[in-house]
Structure formats: structure tokens, C-alpha cells
Amino acid sequence: MKVFKFGGASVKDAAAVKNVAAILERYKEEQIIVVVSAMGKTTNALEDLLDAYYHGRPNTMELLEVVKRFHFDILKELFESTSHPIFEELHNTFVEIEWQLEEEQMREYDFEYDQMVAVGEWLSATVVSAYLKQVGLENKLQDVRDIIRTDNTYRNAKVDWEVTAENVNRYVKPYFSDSSNKLMITQGFVGSTSENFNSTLGREGSDYTGGIFANLVDAESLTIWKDVPGMLNADPKWFEETEKLNNISYHEAVELAYYGATVIHPKTIKPLQNKNIPLLVKSFVNPDEEGSIINENTAKDSLIPSFIFKTNQILISISPRDYSFIAEDNLSQIFGCFAKHKVTVNLMQNSAISFSICTDNQKMKIANLIEELKADYKVYYNDELLLLTVRHYNEETLSKLLKDKTIYVEQKSRQTARFVVK
């Protein structure tokens, strides 16, 4: 059995959905679990909708209408008649969102986020499943919320592996025990709590969903289908010339993902490495190309410099009011504050009387974090920064990269150099 993951770009419009069907047609004799993300920029659109709803802005229905029109336009290209059941299925799903918009928000932002934004994946899976059936690729549409159980850490939920494994044994393995059943379509990014509320696994978490399924069904491989030829040493948006990493180890992939490489979600590797399941990164544009493979073969690790850019960063500098040392008790309090506000640390550096942290500038979280820190510390910050990470660097490469940039923080180890710059 294989697990395939198709991201938002691979199902961004009707032509893309047809391309997914063409790829699956190539594997029609194999049993495959297909994990799909929300279509195109739907997650961003639902985030905008949620933000308007949560802050009481009057344009929620207009924003919802944009999402509805986007999906129904795709349906009209994929299905000849509006009498097809898929039209009513999507209509009913949007009615549920309308009900949520008509109610006053009762819980914290992260909870409301997961209830609304998780719908994007269900819309996508429903459309893909229906279209595959129309072109003769029979499949089971499996709601992932019946499979992946999590805690209630909304927007970054932790998987309950024991309950999830039980659900896989109940819903997934019996279906594939019949050799004539070849395809199961499900959502990425999403799970559910013990109270049956939606939860999400973290932004871009559909890769992780693929890793969870691959681990629990002992898959032959997990393939992530992208709009690039494989795992590249840099984002083509930043570099005109990139090189493909043909074969790297789990360890190298974890390093790159941890530092922010967007090809793979950081949590994806561990469930694969635990069972030595290879991860393939292939192009949905040119599916015949080999792509990249990630496995335990450390001898294949490339020493090609890899470049990772994280934009919209903020550097927060914290120091005691009385110029005393930053000691263990201070650090414990500071990290507790970051954990309380669910702010992830991308880089940190300390001196005798100050401690600096670089993180994503999630404005609402950061504002609350800084306000709390100011009660006990002097707090300064610089925003609109860029975090550069170079894996397997050399000085010539760094000189070119840093030309004309102001460096706020610099860190180097034997293999990795990191810079906060503007």
C-alpha cells in the first residue's frame, strides 16, 4: 500500500483535479490512501473569513461568498450537470459555516479557527472523491476526523497515537482487506478531539497526516506531490537557479524542515523513520520524473548548500530592569510566557543581561506576549525581518547572500549558518 499527499497547488482548479485523476490512473492497480489539502488558497481565504467574524467586521458573508463561488466554479467545470449530488453536498457544508457565522463566538480564537478553517480540507476531499468516481476511479471518501484523534491544543494539536491506531484498524484496514478496493480519499491537516470538535495539526500539516497514515498502515512509501521536480536546495521564489537533492537521509530532511524548508512539514519525518518508510517528493507537473527520495541512507547526503528563508520575522530582546544577569529562573519564566501565548521560537541568543528570540510575527499573539513580558522586563523589538538559514555553507556563499543586508543576529555551527537580517 502507498500513501499519496496532494497539496493545495495540486488541486487548485478543475484542470489540477483532472491531473490528480490522471496520476492516480497510472497506479490504478495499487492500493493507495490519498490525502488532500484545501484547494488553492482556500485556507488563506478561510483565515480572512475567520478574522472578520472573530473581530465583528460586517463583511463576513461577502468573504464567504468568495470561497463558495471559487468551489462552485470548479464544480461546474468538473461535472456536466448541477443536479450531480456533489453540488448539494457542498451547499450543505457552506450552510454549516453560515450557521457558525450567525452565532456569537463562544471560545478562544484558536478554537474558532479550527472549527472554520478545517472545513477547507473537507470541501477539497469531497470534490476530488466525487470527480474520481465520475471518471471511473472508485474510492471511499473517509472523513479523517473519524481517524486522527488529538488533544485540544487547537491549531497545533498533538496526536493520540493509540486511539488513532485503533481507528485505522476499524475504518481503514478492513476497507483495504478487500483487494478490489484501491483508493481511499481523506483530508490532511485535520483531526478531532475526544469531544468531537475539529482540531488542526499546524499550518501545512497535511504532510504530517500522510506520515501518520503511512506509519499506521505500514505503507510501502509516502509520496508528496509538488509543483517542483523534487526537494530543492532553495525556494525557486527566491533563487533563479536551484539544485535538486536526489537522495538525502531522514536526519538531513529533519534539519531542513526544522529550519523552515517548506517542502516538508517538520513532524512528517519521525513516523516514517520509525518504520523505515521512504518519503518521495515528486512533481505532479512531470510525474514521470524521479523526484527526490528521503530514507535512512546517510551516505547519500548532499553537501550542496541549502538555503531557507523565513519572512515576516520579529526579533524580541528581553532584559532585566536592574541590569542583573539573565539566569535560569528568568529563562524559565520567559519560556513559560512564550508557551502560554503559543509563540514558537525560530532562533534564540543570550548575553549576560539580555535574551533575544526571533519568531514569526503573528501580530495578535506577539502583542499579548510583549505586553505580559513588559510587566517584569524591558522589551524591545525589530520587525519586518528575514531569517536566513544556510545548511552546508561556505564563506563565499555567505558573502554573496549577505551583501547589502543589515545583520541583527549571526549564529554558526559546523554545518549551519543562521542570520536575522533586514
- Starting at the earlier edge strand, list the strands of the sheet with 347-350: 347-350, 355-360, 306-320, 377-391, 416-421, 407-412
Extract the C-alpha cell encoding 32.
493507495
CATH number assigned to the domain with residue range 2-219, chosen from the 4 options 3.40.190.10, 3.40.640.10, 3.40.1160.10, 2.60.120.10? 3.40.1160.10
Type of residue numbered 159: V
Residue 73 has pLDDT above 80, yes or no: yes
Task: For residues 214 and 15, give the distance between their C-alpha atoms in angstroms, rounded to a whole number.
Answer: 28
Residue 30 makes CB contacts below 8 A (sequence gap 6+) with: 1, 2, 182
Model confidence pLDDT, tens digit, residues 80-97: 999 999 999 999 999 999
Lowest mean pLDDT among 39-43, 96-100, 279-283: 96-100
Model confidence pLDDT, tens digit, residues 200-258: 998 878 999 999 999 999 999 999 999 999 999 998 888 888 999 999 999 999 889 88
Residues 151-157, mean pLDDT to the nearest whole number: 95
State the DSSP code for 198.
E
Q: In terms of C-beta distances under 8 Å and separation of at least 24 residues, what long-range contacts does 105-112 make, across chains too?
A: 105/53, 105/54, 108/154, 109/54, 109/364, 110/154, 110/155, 110/342, 111/154, 111/197, 112/50, 112/53, 112/54
- Starting at the earlier edge strand, list the strands of the sheet with 279-283: 140-141, 183-187, 32-36, 2-6, 221-226, 279-283, 292-295, 247-249
Domain ranges of the chain: 2-219, 306-421
Cα Rg for the chain, rounded, in angstroms? 23
Task: For residues 283 and 289, give the distance between their C-alpha atoms in angstroms, rounded to a whole number.
Answer: 7
Q: Can you tell me whether residue 381 is helix, strand or coil?
A: strand
Is there a shared CATH topology between the 2-219 domain and the 306-421 domain?
Answer: no
Which has the closest alpha carbon to 90: 51, 136, 129? 129
Q: Which residue has the cell 484545501?
A: 38
Query: Which one has a higher pLDDT value, 328 or 116?
Result: 116
Q: Give the whole-number percent of the chain exceeding pLDDT 90.
A: 83
On average, the pLDDT of the chain sits at 94
Residue 301 has pLDDT above 70, yes or no: no
Structure confidence at residue 329 (pLDDT): 83
Residues 191-206, mean pLDDT to the nearest whole number: 94
Annotated binding-site positions for ATP? 5-8
Annotated binding-site positions for substrate? 43, 121
Under CATH, which number does the domain 306-421 receive? Answer: 3.30.2130.10
Annotated binding-site positions? 5-8, 43, 121
Where does the pLDDT of residue 300 fall: very low under 50, low under 70, confident under 90, or very high at 90 and above? low
- For the chain, the distance separating the N- and C-terminal CA atoms, rounded to the nearest angstrom, is 47
Where does the pLDDT of residue 352 fall: very low under 50, low under 70, confident under 90, or very high at 90 and above? confident
Residue 83 makes CB contacts below 8 A (sequence gap 6+) with: none
Structure confidence at residue 215 (pLDDT): 98
Which has the closest alpha carbon to 3: 209, 158, 265, 262? 209
Residue 95 makes CB contacts below 8 A (sequence gap 6+) with: none
Phi/psi class of residue 334: alpha, beta or left (left: φ > 0; alpha: ψ in -120 to 50)? alpha
Q: What is the reported pTM?
A: 0.90
Task: For residues 59 and 51, give the distance between their C-alpha atoms in angstroms, rounded to a whole number.
Answer: 10
Q: Give the whole-number percent of the chain exceeding pLDDT 70.
A: 99
Task: For residues 416 and 390, give the distance between their C-alpha atoms in angstroms, rounded to a whole number.
Answer: 6
Structure confidence at residue 104 (pLDDT): 82
